[in-house]
Amino acid sequence: MGKSSTTSTIAELALRSQVAAREMALAETALKNDALKKAAAVLRDNVSAILGANQKDISAAEESGLASNLIERLTLNENRVMAMAGGLEKVVELPDPVGETLYKSDRPNGLTVEQIRVPLGVVAIIYESRPNVTSDSAGLCIKSGNAAFLRGSGSAINSNIAIEECLRDAIASAGLPEDAVLLVRDTSHESAAEFMQLRQYIDCLVPRGGPNLIASILENATVPYIIDGDGNCHVYVDSAADLDMAESVLVNAKTQRTSVCNAAESLVIHKDIAGEFLPRAVKSLEGVELVGDSQAREISSGIGEATDADFSTEYLDMKMSVKIVDSLKDAIDHINVNNSGHSEAIITADETAAAEFVRGVDSGSIVINASTRFIDGEELGFGAEIGISTQKLHARGPMGIKELTATKYVVHGNGQIRT
């Protein structure tokens, strides 16, 4: 297994990650794909070792009284390990983004200018209980020529180490630097803060976790990062909506899976169709607790009173806020005040209204006449997803492998000097 990362300081690990990143940046596509295929095979060959390590984590979690939903996230089984291996093989099929030309210009003085995609370098991932993130994010980093510098949670440390060691073995056997995947063993609170401040080494930090993790990044991080934040997603039912479609999309967006960031949390209805649509919505959303403004409560007695905070809350549960608006413009304004920049849908047969919604709503993804649940890297055709950015710089919305690259200008000349 070569040198391990057991006893090193975090800065020492980060330096090793940076050295590996320089080598990974030069690796040919075939070599990276070979490492990914070998990694899938090693995971499959080591299912029982991985599940054994995972059992240690589960036992410790049960002893410490961890909540059952967190234990569920932590738990691996043979299918989940096979899915991790399969995920790595899917990354093999993705085109290698490195070297792609994004801009080209021949200058009057004979210089040729090209802008090409290059790896970011050290991509740091800080994540919570799910051990599959170790493998999933490492796979995307390897394919994009980066080094994955990983810091998972203490509750999953044995599982994460078992997976990391498999990946490192595979990478080394493919002739690439094993430090291209490196897991920080120290899972103390202090180590997380230190990790976020390794500005000299980390080129991009991607957090994968809940609001507390994001708050900690905003508070402590000095490295460049991409925020994968809340999804306070809206479904706006326009006056020109097909109400059958609106009902079906609404129910899907809210209830198909409530615990995910692209689930709808707030229903906004144009007043002209609220009297007809809202009672239908209340009925079809049976089991969902609805809280709304006074107009909504007047129309339907089954709706509780919404506070201002309700309209900006991501429930991730069978609960939804309801707002009646006087106009499309008011809908846009309401959404812009309350949304988190994730995904917002409009249901309308009016293309002009849809276009106004697209232009006016400040969000990463706008969906017209479909469920917000489609805002996901796989659904949008990226093959795999490293997260969903709710910020505007570098990446916005679902992030595929291209978002793990930077660019570089390459200027060719034959002796030109500036006068």
Q: List residues near a copy of itself by CB under 8 A.
A: 22, 25-26, 105, 107, 111, 113, 115, 120-121, 199, 203-204, 218, 222, 224, 226, 242, 245, 248-249, 251-253, 256, 336, 358-360, 362-371, 373-375, 379-381, 391-394, 396-398, 406-419
Shortest distance, position 268 Cβ to a copy of itself, whole Å: 17
Shortest distance, position 122 Cβ to a copy of itself, whole Å: 10
- The answer to whether the beta carbons of residues 170 and 42 sit under 8 Å apart is yes
Q: Within 10 A of 175 (CB to CB), how many other CB atoms are there?
A: 10
If the CB atoms of residues 151 and 373 are measured against a copy of itself, the closer one turns out to be 373
Shortest distance, position 241 Cβ to a copy of itself, whole Å: 11
If the CB atoms of residues 26 and 49 are measured against a copy of itself, the closer one turns out to be 26
Shortest distance, position 393 Cβ to a copy of itself, whole Å: 4
Identify the CA nearest to 411 among candidates 119, 163, 103, 16: 103
Distance CA 180, CA 161 (A): 14
If the CB atoms of residues 91 and 366 are measured against a copy of itself, the closer one turns out to be 366
Query: How deeply is 394 buried, as exposed, middle or buried, from its count of CB atoms within 10 A (0-12, 13-18, 19+)?
Result: middle
- The answer to whether the beta carbons of residues 39 and 171 sit under 8 Å apart is yes
Amino acid residing at 265 = E
Shortest distance, position 363 Cβ to a copy of itself, whole Å: 7
Q: Could you tell me which residues come within 8 angstroms of residue 202 by beta carbon, excluding any fewer than 6 positions away?
A: 14, 122, 124, 149, 223, 224
If the CB atoms of residues 61 and 246 are measured against a copy of itself, the closer one turns out to be 246
Shortest distance, position 389 Cβ to a copy of itself, whole Å: 10
Distance CA 290, CA 267 (A): 9
Identify the CA nearest to 216 among candidates 233, 199, 191: 191
Distance CA 41, CA 367 (A): 39
If the CB atoms of residues 49 and 218 are measured against a copy of itself, the closer one turns out to be 218
If the CB atoms of residues 52 and 95 are measured against a copy of itself, the closer one turns out to be 95
